Amino acid sequence: MDKNLPLTEVVFYILLAVRHPNHGYGIIQEVERLTGGRVVLGAGTLYGAIQTLEKKGWIRIYSVDTESRKKKEYVITPNGEEIFAQERARLAELLHNAELMEEMRPNAFR
Amino acid sequence: MLRFRIYMDKDRETAWLNRMSEKGWAMTRFFMGFYWFAACAPGEYLYQVDFGRKFGLVTKEYREFMEGIGVEIVQTWGFWIIVRRPASEGAFELYTDLDSALAHYGSIRKMFRVGLAVELACFFMELWAAVSGFAAGWFFVCLIGLVVAAFLNMNMQLNDTIAELKERKGEPAECCSRRVSPLVPCGLLLNSIALLFLNDEAWHGIKLGTQIAAIVLMLAGIVVTGRGRKRQGR
């Protein structure tokens, strides 16, 4: 399996948030909304992660709005999509196998 | 308003800046230990101190990114970047997961390690100069000795912070040091006072006594530090 997996929660949610073009503020907001406020991306955390993901080629700059506020938008690359798909398969396996717990303790989940 | 403070610990500096903001003083500028403040609504801003990758400047990318999420860069100083955001935008943290916090404190520790090595080299050079007859050398020995102690203290404190973060992450802690006891810098300070001000022949006895007290303080400091380490190691 890819040595990049498993993804950290931060990377997982950033990739998800840039499935469509999104800027820094938008990423923070979307991740917060998706997790019900559980995952809040700090400014430094997000900046460092974006730099790393850009270097790895998992996300790229989508557009630079030079006129109004300088807001850089990022979007996932095919490489990033591939990694995300692998992570999703891994998580699906986890969830699937987790069901075995119900066999062991028949009454526990009812 | 102008205040003079020397902070090595960025977490304490952050806490102080936020306390000032709460009192209605927003920091606007920093130079050589001097902090400039402008009046603001009490608690108007939340401050944070970041650690950059380049000395004395922030990249255009960093600036644009921070501006894009409503963060204002107030001042850069060496590797340090003081930033703020209006409190109305909600809680303001820079590093919110263990990995990025570890990387952050790791690069700060790297700087303090290099700093410690440089200061130690200066310390021994001055000591050599002083022993070989350069009288003013002793002054610098004590001065640099204090800086060495402060840097050592920061290194140990950062070791603690990093060990704690690693523990929370489930990784084995690499070492378990504690901070240097404040007795050590106190001893160094006393020693430097003795060397600086008690040079008159008539004061000889007092000078000797002060220096012995200083040595005792320093030794006690070393013992306390050592004990603290053992206790935590258990």
Cβ(B155)–Cβ(B194) below 8 Å: no
Chain mean position to CA B66:
25
| Amino acid, res. A96 | H
Cβ–Cβ of B94/A23 closer than 8 Å? no
Looking at residue B128, its pLDDT comes to 79
Q: What is the mean pLDDT of residues B36-58?
A: 92
Q: Which residue of B has its CA nearest to A45?
A: B95
Strands (E) across A1-110 are located at 22-23, 59-65, 71-76
Q: Which residues of B touch A28 (CB under 8 A)?
A: 69
Looking at residue B189, its pLDDT comes to 86
**Averaged pLDDT score across all residues of chain A:** 88
Cβ(A58)–Cβ(A79) below 8 Å: yes
Of chain B, the percentage scoring pLDDT greater than 70 comes to 88
Asked whether the CA dihedral B92, A28, A41, A95 is positive or negative, the reply is positive
| Interface of chain B toward chain A, CB-CB under 8 angstroms | 48, 50, 62, 64-71, 83, 91-97, 99-100, 103-104
- The reply to whether A7 touches chain B by the CB within 8 Å rule is no
Q: What is the mean pLDDT of residues B157-179?
A: 78
Nearest-neighbour CA in chain A from B71: distance (Å): 8
Q: What is the mean pLDDT of residues B199-213?
A: 71
Looking at residue B148, its pLDDT comes to 87
A71-76 and A22-23 strand pairing: antiparallel
Task: List, in order, residues 6 or more apart from B29 with CB less than 8 Å away.
Answer: B35, B36, B74, B75
- Beta carbon pairs, A and B, within 8 Å: 60
Looking at residue B129, its pLDDT comes to 80
Nearest-neighbour CA in chain B from A53: distance (Å): 14
Looking at residue A67, its pLDDT comes to 61
Nearest-neighbour CA in chain A from B222: distance (Å): 37
What does the pLDDT look like over A62-88, one tens digit per residue? 876 666 555 789 999 999 999 999 999
Cβ(B218)–Cβ(B187) below 8 Å: yes
Maximum Cα–Cα distance for chain A, whole Å? 62
Say which CATH architecture domain A9-104 belongs to. Orthogonal Bundle (1.10)
- pLDDT over threshold 50, residue B234: no
The answer to whether the pTM exceeds 0.90 is: no
What does the pLDDT look like over A41-50, one tens digit per residue? 999 999 999 9
Can the peptide bond before residue A6 be classed as cis, meaning omega within 30 degrees of 0?
Answer: yes
Residue among B213, B199, B153 nearest B178 (CA): B153
Q: How far apart (Å, rounded) are the C-alpha atoms in residues B193 and B214? A: 10
Residue A14, burial from CB neighbour count under 10 angstroms (0-12, 13-18, 19+) = buried
- pLDDT over threshold 80, residue A39: yes
- pLDDT over threshold 80, residue B62: yes
- The reply to whether A6 touches chain B by the CB within 8 Å rule is no
Q: What is the mean pLDDT of residues A17-31?
A: 94
What does the pLDDT look like over B4-41, one tens digit per residue? 999 999 999 999 999 999 999 999 999 999 999 999 99
- pLDDT over threshold 60, residue A29: yes
3-state secondary structure of B4: strand
Asked whether the ipTM of the predicted complex exceeds the cut of 0.85, the reply is no
- The reply to whether A23 touches chain B by the CB within 8 Å rule is yes
What size, in residues, is chain B?
234
Q: Where are the domains of chain A?
A: 9-104
Of chain B, the percentage scoring pLDDT greater than 90 comes to 45
- pLDDT over threshold 90, residue A91: yes
- The reply to whether A47 touches chain B by the CB within 8 Å rule is yes
- pLDDT over threshold 70, residue A53: yes
- pLDDT over threshold 60, residue B175: no
Looking at residue B20, its pLDDT comes to 95
Q: How far apart (Å, rounded) are the C-alpha atoms in residues B180 and B176? A: 13
Cβ–Cβ of A10/B70 closer than 8 Å? no
Q: What is the mean pLDDT of residues B199-205?
A: 71
Cβ(B222)–Cβ(B184) below 8 Å: yes
